[in-house]
Chains A and B, each alone.
Chain A
Amino acid sequence: MDFLGNLAMGFSVALTPFNLLMATVGVIVGILIGALPGIGPPSGVALLLPLTFGMEPTSGIIMLAALYAGTMYGGTITSVLINTPGESASVVTCLDGHQMALQGRAGPALGIAAIGSFIAGTIGVVLLMLVSPALARWSLAFGPPETFALMLLGLTTVTLLTGDDALKGYISMVLGLMLAMVGFDIISGDARYAFGIPEMMDGMDFLPVAIGLFGLGEVLAGAEMAKGNTILQGRYGLRDVMPSATDWMRSRWAIVRGTVLGFAVGLLPGAGPTVASFLSYTVEKKASRHPEEFGKGAIEGVAGPESANNAAATGAMVPMLTLGIPGSATTAIMLGGLMMWGLRPGPMLFEKNPEFIWGLIASQYIANVMLLILSTAFIPLFVRALRVPYTILMPLIIVFCITGAYSLKNNVWDVGQMLVFGVLGYAMKKLGYSPAALVLALVLGPMAERALRQSLIISDAGLGIFFLRPIAAVLTVAALVAVAVPVVRAIVAASRRHRAAA
């Protein structure tokens, strides 16, 4: 069979000593980044991206993908032990995970999360392997109108789903698109909004922006507080984290449901691991025979969402690799990395760089095994890392933000840009704007503009082209619905207030 041959080739790439080392480093750093509050998956990927510039792209993506999987589990440790989620996909785990810990069952909570993550991650890769080539073949038929409509859908759904305030989400997205306009226009050669500054003529690099918004921005938000965490003491040896037979019986279907739901949600543009984990929790509560136990330490409330977020992290790779449309801030940064390595994400990646794609797929199987081993056998080590005070951690993260931004093009301009966006990221976080929507728009902006202009050239400036071709029409209408939802919601709320006042 064709893909068995491809998979064998993938394993031959992934099993080289250097790539194995990169997967291990990725998983370990990922667990740490996920576990440490105040630094999440997008900052982790942005900070480690500069390290990959000296490597083969395959080794680079192997490390970043392993890191992404690691962060999903790392967040669980803090949710369970400190009741502070390390990253947003583990917020829901606090509800039952921490309750289990208070009842002295932190071990099984962490154990079932690790096992669920392993099962979900592995099934996720199988699905990724089956779905991606078919989707890539289908998307070969996409012309500029379909591409633009798809990007529009990605941008609007991310905006809709990442923040509480849709208006501020859309402002963040448009700001990102405006920043994407800076620099040389590929068609006319105009140096737009560069103000004669040579560094700005090449456009805004997404990496200093991403490092600033996520890395420095998050650190500044945490800098206000002199933090001291209370970590629940306990035994986290291999035997202590193994779930009992009852735990296992209660969790098995939650893991299966979480996996399927998570992967499906991950495939959608905009809906990543966080949405998947919340949905899974709701489903488990509905499906359970003991819904009253949820929020009081029900193990299904940990198993389902933790499986769902890992499956979604894998699912989110599908649109990024096959269509070139990232669904989240983390995959947007990975996509930026792909372009920096000189690869063109999208359907042709499968044709032109099979060793890259299949190496990545094979390495995901390996990363999941490593994640299982590390997250069951080495929990005490990660718990110890949590004891590193924030006052030491914070300056260290800033140092990595600075060195990362500098090493992109070896200039101080990028470091200054990172600093400016760090302050902006802090303000955005505090005021309820969406840094994720800004970064996604910045990455997709140039591609979206090209597709839009090409479409309008084909149609002789008529917007009808986005509604007359079937695939483009479905995607455009879906994007418009995503824009309309918050508007309709705001109007309904306003009229209700009006009626209540009358």
Chain B
Amino acid sequence: MRRADRIAGAVLLVSGVAFSGGALKYYTYSGPGGPGSAFLPFWLGVIMAALAGWLLVGALRSPDPGIEWLPRGEGLRRLALVLGVTAAFVALLKVIGMILGTALFLIVLMRVLDRNPWPLTLSVAALTAGLIYLVFTYWLRVPFPVSVFGI
């Protein structure tokens, strides 16, 4: 946690300074009609930099190494898998479409992650894709992306 706090503190400190600097450079701090569009962003950046500085100093001075926050081994594998498959689904959404994509996503995750039996996996995938089609496409008329197969 201490290491994570150091990294977070440094990143937030830089972000705060950049946010304030950007506000002053590109927008107006104050005009004839009162405070301008840079006014609040400038001060928010300053406050963020101060809070991040506090976090950073605390983390640098703390003798306590804190707890591990990222999982290891099997936990990390599962986390990476879920995140990876989800990111791939989102990236390919326009190609595989929402309804077909949903079914494929469920099949991949349910099989790879925990080796759920095929009949269960296929029925959950088909039922969910069907339900989403019914609620979003049919009832709410949401124009989901469609795959090359037309679904």
Contacts and interface: CB of A to CB of B under 8 A. Distances in A.
Contact of A406 (B71, B86, B144): B144
A465 interface: no
Interface string A192-236: 110000000000000000000000100110011110000000000
Contacts of A430: 69-70
Contacts of B116: 391-392
A394 B82 CA distance: 9
Contacts of A395: 105-106, 109-110, 113
Interface stretch (A16-24, A86-94, A177-185, A325-333): A177-185
Nearest to A404: B136
Contact of B39 (A220, A392, A423, A453): A453
B142 A187 contact: no
A456 interface: yes
B79 A188 contact: no
A178 B17 CA distance: 12
A244 interface: no
A422 B83 CA distance: 9
B147 interface: no
Contacts of A190: 26-28, 37
Interface stretch (A60-68, A165-173, A356-364): A165-173
B51 A188 contact: no
B146 interface: no
B140 interface: yes
Nearest to B30: A461
Nearest to B74: A226
A190 B36 CA distance: 10
Q: How many residues of B sit at the interface, in one of the four size bands? A: 35 or more
B51 A167 contact: yes
A220 B90 contact: no
A50 B143 CA distance: 13
Contacts of A170: 51
B118 interface: no
Interface string B116-151: 100010001000100010011001111111000000
Contacts of B8: 431
Given A403-B136, A431-B8, A224 B75 contact: yes
A54 B89 contact: no
A456 B35 contact: yes
A407 B142 contact: yes
A369 to B, nearest CB: 27
A378 B23 CA distance: 57
A396 interface: yes
A187 B37 contact: yes
Contacts of A399: 102, 105-106, 128, 132
Contact of B78 (A168, A226, A423): A226
Interface in B24-80: 26-28, 30-31, 33-37, 39-41, 44-45, 47-48, 51-52, 54-55, 58, 69-71, 74-76, 78-79
Contacts of B19: 178, 193
A282 interface: no
Interface in A235-269: none
A398 interface: yes
Given A188-B37, A406-B142, A174 B83 contact: no
Contact of B139 (A54, A220, A431): A54
Contacts of A449: 40
A224 B78 contact: yes
A455 B19 CA distance: 24
A1 interface: no
Contacts of A177: 40, 44
Interface in B80-118: 82-83, 86-87, 89-90, 93-94, 98, 102, 105-106, 109-110, 113-114, 116
Contacts of B120: 392
A223 B82 contact: yes
Contact of A419 (B23, B36, B90): B90
A224 B90 CA distance: 21
Contacts of B30: 461
A488 interface: no
A392 B106 CA distance: 8
Contact of A188 (B36, B48, B70, B74): B36
A181 B42 CA distance: 10
13 contacts: A54-B140, A167-B51, A178-B19, A178-B41, A178-B44, A187-B36, A187-B37, A192-B23, A407-B142, A412-B93, A419-B87, A431-B5, A461-B34
Given A54-B140, A412-B94, A415-B90, 15 more contacts: A51-B135, A53-B140, A175-B12, A178-B19, A178-B44, A187-B36, A224-B71, A391-B110, A391-B116, A394-B82, A394-B109, A398-B105, A403-B132, A403-B142, A461-B34
10 closest A-B pairs (Cβ-Cβ)? A457-B34, A224-B75, A185-B37, A391-B114, A395-B109, A223-B82, A188-B37, A430-B69, A190-B37, A407-B142
